[in-house]
Amino acid sequence: MTAVAEPMTAVHPGGRPSKAMANPGHGDAFTDHMVTAYWTREAGWGPARLGALENLTIHPGMIGLHYAQVVFEGLKAFVQADGSIAAFRPRANAARFARSAARLAMPEVGEAMFLRAVEDVVRADADWLHDNPRHTLYLRPLLYASENNLMLRASNEYTFLMMAFLAGGFFGDAVEPVRVLVSRDFTRAVPGGTGNVKCAANYGPSLLAQRQAHEAGCAQVVWLDAAEHRYVEEMGGMNLFFVRGSGSSATLVTPQLTGTLLPGNTRSSLLTIAGLEGHAVSEERITVDQWRAECAAGTITEVFACGTAAVVTPVGAVRDRDGDFAIGDGAMGPITKKLRTALLDIQHGRRPDPDNWLHPIC
Ligand SMILES: Cc1ncc(COP(=O)(O)O)c(C=O)c1O
């Protein structure tokens, strides 16, 4: 069959670029609206207004650009079984956004303003979703220091934005197991640092390690702890789970939150879901040597990564300085598949919501 290239000018009947609608990828199919609010030290927060997504005009001496006083979030809205749209656990994102802001000496966006911004953008851009219910709206709240001043101090002015893009799959549409590289050259987070919050400055420095992973034929990088370089922490922008054993007696382990890992909302959701599915769950420290040995012994049968963007993605193989190894037979295992399905079913309202995770919008 010959693939016929779509003309670049093709537009969806609703005015959307049809390429984006067919395969939105992850990150550039921006929707039409954003919410903007400004904070000043004298007046606090002004009104949060919905408007068109448009370019920003910024001064070259803006604090956020120079000193990385910038935090962000990532959450999704899903089409429900009945055709309505709901956001998944936006209160958890609001709480983490506030913690991130506090860590960077920034003013917090209150939960009510955060939720309202989510609702406004989703309502305004809901029609982006209805063509393909497998697509999601990925919402990106951003808070940055917007005062123009190059003195190294906390800004006296901040801007809050809530934008969105249409998302397909993070690793493409198919759920294929990924190969990952254990980073031995770089560290993501240090005790007392910012690893447990979502600030922009955590991500720029991770990109060289990510490039090394790609050069080694891997999709992602696995981070080890900064002090001993032994304990597995997390993976790129995702948390990790290890499955020990199989069937109904399988147990799940995820690295303990030591202060240098980001406490993922997907991680916390899966801990609950796995428990509801009858699996014992624990949060432990696990070394990369233990990971390799338990895979060789067949104790660890499956490993998966999880996050808002990646949902649940199986890890099939690990590349490491001390020897590469495979996980199980390298394919997606049954526990990974079951938990991925359960999570997506809850997010799409196809299975009971265990704890008011869904926030209905329109
Ligand atoms: C470093 C890091 N770890 C883990 C996660 C997963 O978090 P969540 O499940 O809340 O998306 C993310 C994504 O936000 C991340 O950036």
Which pLDDT value is given to residue 134? 80
Pocket lining: 200 vs ligand 1, CB cutoff 6 Å? no
Interatomic CA distance for residues 178 and 170, integer angstroms: 12
Mean pLDDT of 345-351: 96
Mean pLDDT of 282-286: 97
* List of residues 6+ apart from 202 with CB closer than 8 A: 188, 189, 194, 195
Pocket lining: 239 vs ligand 1, CB cutoff 6 Å? yes
Q: Is 264 strand, coil or helix?
A: coil
Specify the pairing of strand 136-145 against strand 75-79: antiparallel
Domains and CATH numbers, the chain: 4-167 (3.30.470.10), 178-347 (3.20.10.10)
Q: Which of 308, 311, 312, 357 to mutate to test the pocket of ligand 1 (most atoms within 8 A of CB)?
A: 308
Pocket lining: 75 vs ligand 1, CB cutoff 6 Å? no
Span 107-143, pLDDT tens digits? 999 999 999 999 999 999 999 987 676 899 999 999 9
Pocket lining: 237 vs ligand 1, CB cutoff 6 Å? yes
Give the chain's mean pLDDT: 93
Which pLDDT value is given to residue 6? 38
The pTM of this model reads 0.94
pLDDT band at 17 (very low <50, low <70, confident <90, very high): low
Query: Which segments within the chain are labelled E, that is strand?
Result: 33-40, 44-45, 49-52, 70-72, 75-79, 85-88, 136-145, 157-167, 178-182, 220-224, 232-235, 239-244, 251-255, 281-284, 300-307, 311-319, 325-326, 358-360
Whether residue 261 is predicted with pLDDT greater than 50 in this model: the reply is yes
Nearest residue (by CA) to ligand 1, atom 1, is 237
Which pLDDT value is given to residue 132? 76
Mean pLDDT of 248-262: 97
Mean pLDDT of 72-99: 97
C-alpha 44, offset from chain centre: 29
Identify which has the larger pLDDT, 217 or 133.
Answer: 217
Pocket lining: 308 vs ligand 1, CB cutoff 6 Å? yes
Interatomic CA distance for residues 352 and 277, integer angstroms: 13
Span 30-62, pLDDT tens digits? 999 999 999 999 999 999 999 999 999 999 999
